[in-house]
Structure 1
Amino acid sequence: MALVSDRFRDLRAQGKCALIPFITAGDPDLETTAAALRVLDDNGADFIELGVPYSDPLADGPVIQAAATRALAKGVNLDAVLSMVKGMQLQAPLILFTYYNPILNRGIEAFMADIAAAGLAGLVVPDLPLEEVEGLLAAAAAAGIDVTLLVAPTSPAERIQAIAAQAQGFVYLVSVTGVTGIRSELQSRVKDLIDGLKQTTDKPVGVGFGVSDPDQAQQLKAWGADGVIVGSAFVKRLAADSPEVALSTIGDFCRQLKAALA
């Protein structure tokens, strides 16, 4: 599995903006999740974020919280998720999205070794404090995992610089204040945030939280984003119908987003 940073380097060399769908593992079930990963991989995803269901998902909006609750009710946990993805042959590098407490509970080194063995290429930890990032980054580097750090729109300039300096793979710019979810329009200040990050770091900038349609994805590319992360819109579609119909729906949606970023 290619490192996230390597794949982004290839995409940037081709002048391409990455499409990064997010889905919640285990909703409606792990079999459907595995099928969804393949559908997204076949329909233009450059990376795929896979959320591990968690009982207290502070960064997630109602759509993803509900998906995590349903998955947890079915007994889905990290071990089950890793078992599902292990051995999957995907073109798109897989990025695991999980909270910090499960990592600490397993032990940082053991966690990194386990996700690397399962074939994961990257990691996003939305509640990881910058002050505690050093040990996690060292363990990730030893395991060949790129850790992406999040920059909030309310972060002061000095903190943004510190986060961007530590981030691996790409810098995850949160486009809105608050939790994930579908928004009807993007705030114009996102352009200023992207511009500011570009002046701070030469690392790719991926923008997420609130991106819900091809027009918004196209707007973010025009504003200079190197990657566009779309979560709730995919999770909502996966939950809206039978697995067969939902998988077809997310495949169509993925192609539309990819075309908008072409």
Structure 2
Amino acid sequence: MTDVSGSVQAERFGALETRLRDRRQAGAKLLIPYVTGGYEGWQRAVEAAAAAGADAIEIGIPFSDPVIDGPVIQQASTAALAQGATPASVLEEVRALDTGIPHAVMTYYNLCHHQGHERFASALVEAGVSGAILPDLPYVEAGPWLTDSAEIGIEAVLLAAPTTPDHRLAALCEASRGFVYAVGLLGVTGERAALASTATEIASRCQAVTDRPVLTGVGIGSPAQAVEACQVSDGAVIGSAVVRTLMSDGPAAVGELVATYRAALDRG
């Protein structure tokens, strides 16, 4: 196995958070689109999203038994798996990307546990990935992963749910790397007709206990809702809307969609 714990770690670790902090300091609201890795045209969709003004890209590694993915992302993941996508194949394709912005992967802990923390994190670093989101690994059980990922050079992003108790929230935000993922509602990913009140509530609670970038995701279905969420949070993660557009209209349309979110956030 390639040793990635030395010079590579020093070069890359912190790239995601540094990028987001720098953009926040410049007055920008942050935008991270999610794209399902392995789905037909996904690499071109990532490149289009980056060119349209994304600050980072969240890349999903398809998993057969998702916990947080709603019907749109589940459909894309099922199609990607049927087309032969594997964690190794997706990361090999990630390695070929040259977007100029950080990449974070989102997948489930079983893949990490099966490979072992060191091997999993090393594979991410070798693919040029900066961060990892494992939504089914709760903070209270994440200690070994937080330690191992940091030693290898991966920023472990943690999720703050609307139900996270106050006595735990500050520690969770302190332990998170890259950014704090404020989960906008209790439920799976997907577009909603209106932004849930819990989206601004959890973002506000996070902002009160951390200076780390706080981004709201899950349940944001339009540029207007992203702007509403960003009245409190530092940015928004847009998933189902992006993946739906990729499946229905192709990679170029993803760039057009991300551009509408970028313009809306810039206008405020």
Place the TM-score, normalised by the shorter chain, in its bin: over 0.9
Counterparts of 1:98-113 in structure 2, within 5 Å, are 98-113=107-122
Q: Which residue of the partner structure matches residue 6 of structure 1?
A: 18
Structure 1 segments of 4+ aligned residues over 4 angstroms from their partners: none
Residue 258 of structure 1 corresponds to which residue in structure 2? 262
Identity %: 38
Letter in 1 for 2:259: R
Q: What is residue 237 of structure 1 aligned with on the other side? A: 245
Which of 162, 178, 182 is equivalent to 2:187?
Answer: 178
Contact 2:223–2:261 (Cα < 8 Å) also in 1:
yes
Report Cα offsets for 1:97-135 as digits up to 9, x if no partner. 010000010110011111101000111000012232121
Aligned to 1:22: 34
Query: Equivalent residue for 2:233?
Result: 225
Deviations 1:11-38 (CA, angstroms, capped at 9, x unpaired): 12101111100011112x2xx1111111
Matched-pair contact (CA < 8 Å) for 2:224–2:264 = yes
The counterpart of 1:84, out of the listed 93, 107, 113, is: 93
Q: Alignment partner for residue 50 of structure 2, among 41, 45, 49? A: 41
Q: How many residues align?
A: 254
User: Is the CA contact 2:207–2:233 (under 8 Å) kept in the aligned structure 1?
Assistant: no
Task: Deviation per CA, 1:52-88: give whole Å up to 9, x if none.
Answer: 1001001111111111111111110100001101142
Deviation at 1:202, TM superposition (A): 1.4
2:260 aligned partner, one-letter code: Q
- Segments of 5+ residues of structure 1 without an aligned counterpart are none
Deviation at 1:188, TM superposition (A): 2.8
For 2:199, the equivalent position in structure 1 comes to 190
Cα distance between partner residues in 2 of 1:256 and 1:57: 29
Structure 1 Cα separation of the partners of residues 251 and 146 of structure 2: 35
Equivalent residue of 2:132, what SS? strand
> What's the C-alpha RMSD, in Å, of the aligned pairs?
1.3
SS at match of 1:200: coil
Q: Distance in 1 between matches of 2:201 and 2:45?
A: 34
Report the counterpart of residue 174 of structure 2 in structure 1. Answer: 165
Residue 126 of structure 1 pairs with residue 126 of structure 2: no
Distance in 2 of aligned mates of 1:98 and 1:247? 22
- Aligned equivalents of 1:72, 1:195: Cα separation in 2: 37
The one-letter amino acid of 1:182's match is E
Q: CA deviation at 1:165?
A: 1.9
TM-score by length of 1: 0.93
Which residues in structure 2 correspond to 1:149-164 (within 5 Å)?
Answer: 149-164=158-173
Deviation of 1:193 after TM superposition, in Å, equals 2.1
